[in-house]
Structure 1
Amino acid sequence: MQHATGLRPSAQILISDTDHDRLTGLASTVLDRAPETAEELLAELDRAVITEAEAMPADVVRMGSTVTVRGESGDIKHITLVYPGDADIAENRISVLTPMGTALVGASIGQVVRWSGRGGRKLSVTVEAVDTPVCGGEY
């Protein structure tokens, strides 16, 4: 586990201590049912720089953030990163346990996030904007 110490490289992700704890617990609970998904999330959490929730920059995707992303073809989408029980594809509420959700957590504006889709297809989006959740920045 790393702690924030200033500038972060473009591929670095930043996660609040609160999100880190909650997401680690979530990944642990689904490890038996969805090992690949849980292991991917745990790998992302392991490489993250962890900071206090109050110190999280506004441009970083966290749980509850509404994120504007630009796809490879230039299409713009607005999605909200949520826990599995709150996911609703029709409302663009994407679970953190999806490949895209796992890739987005901790990313910042301007960062390109990549993941593997069905059949191993490589997908990516660029984070264009992040709207931080209300209630003190924690979801």
Structure 2
Amino acid sequence: MNRRLITIIDYERLLALKELALLTTETSENVRKLYTELMHAHMLKPGYISENAITMNSRILLRELHTGRQIDLTITYPRDSNAMERRVSVFSEIGTALLGKLVGDRVSWKIKGREAHFEILEVLYQPEAVGHFNL
């Protein structure tokens, strides 16, 4: 398990959502996995996290390793997710795989019954990098 980077603010907000998420989400296994990994994450003040780290509300560019196809998406809180806008919940399999990872890391999750592997190419927007600490 690679150690994830997370801001203290993101950690506190996600911790506050834990019980409700475990009770209401269909992806409770993803939620359990995320919280297990967050317990071992390296927590930083928002102004000290690398601009290459995926934090909440970050927009990122990925490349699927098998096809070379590039996609961009945003990691959001569940209430802000919207598939049409490529805004994925942190509690989804995709969100769980990406939060706290760095540019250059490789991640995988299932898409349409098969395992898809991606490389993180770029963090296109990270709130902390531009001083947006309260998103």
Aligned counterpart in structure 1 of residue 20 of structure 2, from 7, 21, 29: 29
8 A Cα contact 2:61 2:71, kept in partner: yes
8 A Cα contact 2:31 2:96, kept in partner: no
> Given the superposition, is the C-alpha separation of residues 33 and 117 from structure 1 closer, same or farther in structure 2, using an over 3 Å criterion?
farther
Aligned partner of 1:67 in structure 2 is: 60
Unaligned runs of 5+ in 2: none
TM-score (structure 1 length as normaliser): 0.82
1:136 aligns with 2:132: yes
Bigger mean CA offset, 12-21 vs 35-44: 35-44
SS of 2:75's equivalent? strand
CA displacement at 1:137 relative to structure 2: 4.3
Q: How does 1:38-53 map to 2 (within 5 A)?
A: 38-53=31-46
8 A Cα contact 1:16 1:50, kept in partner: yes
Aligned counterpart in structure 2 of residue 57 of structure 1, from 27, 50, 55: 50
Q: Kindly, what percent of the aligned residue pairs are identical?
A: 29
1:125 aligns with 2:129: no
Aligned counterpart in structure 1 of residue 109 of structure 2, from 106, 109, 115: 115
How far apart, CA to CA, are the structure 2 residues paired with 1:18 and 1:136? Answer: 12
8 A Cα contact 1:68 1:129, kept in partner: yes
Aligned partner of 1:18 in structure 2 is: 9
TM-score (structure 2 length as normaliser): 0.85
> Given the superposition, is the C-alpha separation of residues 40 and 117 from structure 1 closer, same or farther in structure 2, using an over 3 Å criterion?
farther
Which residue identity lines up with residue 68 of structure 1 in the other structure?
L
8 A Cα contact 1:63 1:138, kept in partner: no
How far apart, CA to CA, are the structure 1 residues paired with 2:40 and 2:54? Answer: 15
SS of 2:16's equivalent? helix
CA displacement at 1:117 relative to structure 2: 4.8
Q: What RMSD, in angstroms, separates the aligned Cα atoms of the two structures?
A: 1.9
CA deviation string 1:94-114 (max 9, x = no partner): 111110011100011000012
